[in-house]
Amino acid sequence: MSQLVLTTLPNIPLVKNGDDIARIILNGLRDAEIELREGDVIVIASKIISKAEGRVARLSDVTPSARALELAQETDKDAREIELMLQESSEIVRARKGLIVTRHRLGFVSANAGIDHSNVQKGAEDFVLLLPLAPDVSAARIREEVNRETGKQVAVVIADSHGRPHRLGTIGIAIGSAGLPALEDWRGRHDLFGYELKYTDIGLADMLASAATLLFGQAREGTPIVHLRGATWFGKNGTARDLVRPKEMDLFP
């Protein structure tokens, strides 16, 4: 029987700029009495990556541009926060009262450029958290450190909470990935009746991220790292960038 087992790592400290996430993971595995096996996956909430990499911005230090002030009038949002959205994005896709949808510099389309007020630090009204600069690179670096320390080949996924077009509710998606095919190509396989699959791609890293997000929670849980065992995959390792639909293929611009 197939089985997927997810376990939150205990005793994760409040992460601050400069902290070693790989070391925190190793300590959490020790405290959870988990010995890594080949093919295990570590899923990490993007917030602690951002904090460790110093991606906290203070709104009182931000000077809004003319475009940010214009959008603030249109949306009733803080012009300083909008300025950060502009800096983090390649374009504004949609804007209305209370909402700005951007194409993030990492390629995906999301609300507010992924900028977050929750679980940042004390005085949260003046501080926001930006997404990691290069989450695929961060995932690869953490994976390399964990593999070197343990001698086991594991995968690492960095997850963030996103809404979805045409669907209500927040889910977890992968914004960084290393050690597995983030996008798994099933073309050429056959179904139960011998039919050859011709168009099937599987968002493996997104599914693992969303599963782990059930344990991350969205508020006071304090469990931003999940160990996952039992996932299987085929094909070459990729990155979360592989999951971004090219703009020219977007039917809903």
Tens of each residue's pLDDT in the chain, 253 residues: 789 999 999 999 999 999 999 999 999 999 999 999 999 999 999 999 999 999 999 999 999 999 999 999 999 999 999 999 999 999 999 999 999 999 999 999 989 999 987 656 665 678 999 999 999 999 999 999 999 999 999 999 999 999 887 889 989 999 999 999 999 987 767 778 888 777 778 899 999 999 999 998 765 558 999 999 999 998 899 999 999 988 888 777 5
Q: What is the CATH number of domain 56-129?
A: 3.90.1660.10
Side chain identity, residue 189 = R
Collapse the DSSP code of 100 into the 3-class scheme (helix H, G, I; strand E, B; otherwise coil) and give the result. Answer: strand
DSSP class of residue 190?
Answer: B
Domain boundaries, the chain: 5-55+132-244, 56-129
In 3-state terms the chain splits into helix, strand, coil percentages (rounded to 5) of: 35, 25, 40
Q: Tell me, what's the pLDDT at 218? A: 60
Q: Tell me, what's the pLDDT at 253? A: 59
Tally of CA atoms within 13 A in the half-sphere of 3 that contains its CB:
4
125 burial class (0-12, 13-18, 19+ CB within 10 angstroms)? exposed
Torsion of CA 53, 59, 64, 69, to 10 degrees: 120
Tell me, yes or no, if the two domains 5-55+132-244 and 56-129 fold the same way. no
The model's pTM is 0.92
For the chain, how big is the Rg over CA atoms in Å?
Answer: 19
Fold of 5-55+132-244: 60s Ribosomal Protein L30; Chain: A; (3.30.1330)
The pairing of strands 99-104 and 89-96 is antiparallel
Tally of CA atoms within 13 A in the half-sphere of 69 that contains its CB:
4
